[in-house]
Amino acid sequence: MAHTMDSLTNDREKIYEEGNNGCLRIVLITLLVACCVGVAYVLLNRLSDEDDALLPAPVSTLPQPAQDDAQVIQLTPEQWTEHLQALNDHRSALNEHRTLVGELRSEVNTLSLEIQGLRQRVSALEKQLAASNTSSGNSSAPSKANNDGKISSEGFRPDALILAGYEHDYLTAKARFSVRNNTQRKVSEFKIRITYYDMRGQMLDYKDITKKMLIEPGMARAVEVMGYAWEEKYVFHTSKNAHLGKKYKVSFDLLSYTLK
């Protein structure tokens, strides 16, 4: 009986010992599984963050062009660049047109001043012509010729000689223009006054020139004179290289002439 009790006691102790060992194993396995799960969770979160960083931003977060309620226009970056370039070209063209308008206005003002000066000179010439006719006493007798056969005096006509075609480039010292005989007789000598103006119509200088040359009735001759201030790069405003120098204009006044 006593032996049986000891055997039962020993069996119970073995069962308790095996049970404790089993529980310990279960706890260790649970802890190991929990650690593995935690490590896997951390790794998965890290990989997810890296993937999100590599992905492009969603379309909704990108800047969108202004959209019309009636129509939505989607433009590529290249199209935006083309439109901006076209806009810049239009702005440049507009600025050029504004500059041209300003130059035209300045030219109009200059022409107005020149017209005003011409009117004043015409008025002075008319007064001079009237005074010349009065002093001659309205005589119809022909003018007397000297020993050379030249006509020393005749009713003065401001339009007896027509001067035109003035040309001067600052690259050359000489200026050229033409003189046309607008009378019915030969011209052997004449004296003119050339007045120089800047592009604003302000007088710069004047020069009286006397030339002896024979010009047949209705014919024209070329005349060469020193150009205005060519050493300072002054150039007649209609010359080929006018944009390279200081522009100026001229006017002519016929002071006297001799007929044959």
Ordered structural domains, the chain, with CATH:
108-134+149-259 (2.60.40)
Return the pLDDT at 174.
Answer: 92
DSSP alpha helix (H) spans, 136-213: none
Tell me phi and psi for residue 55, to 5 degrees.
-70, 145
| Nearest C-alpha neighbor of 151 from the set 163, 164, 137, 141 | 141
pLDDT the model gives residue 85:
85
Residue 220 β-bridge partners: 180
Decide: residue 104, CB within 10 A, 0-12 exposed, 13-18 middle, 19+ buried.
exposed
Q: Is pLDDT of 222 > 80?
A: yes
Q: What is the CA radius of gyration of the chain?
A: 54
Task: Give the whole-angstrom CA distance, residue 101 versus residue 222.
Answer: 36
pLDDT digits (tens, 9 = 90+) for 96-139: 878 878 777 767 766 766 786 677 677 777 766 766 655 444 43
- pLDDT one-digit tens code per residue, 11-37: 656 655 665 566 667 767 777 777 776
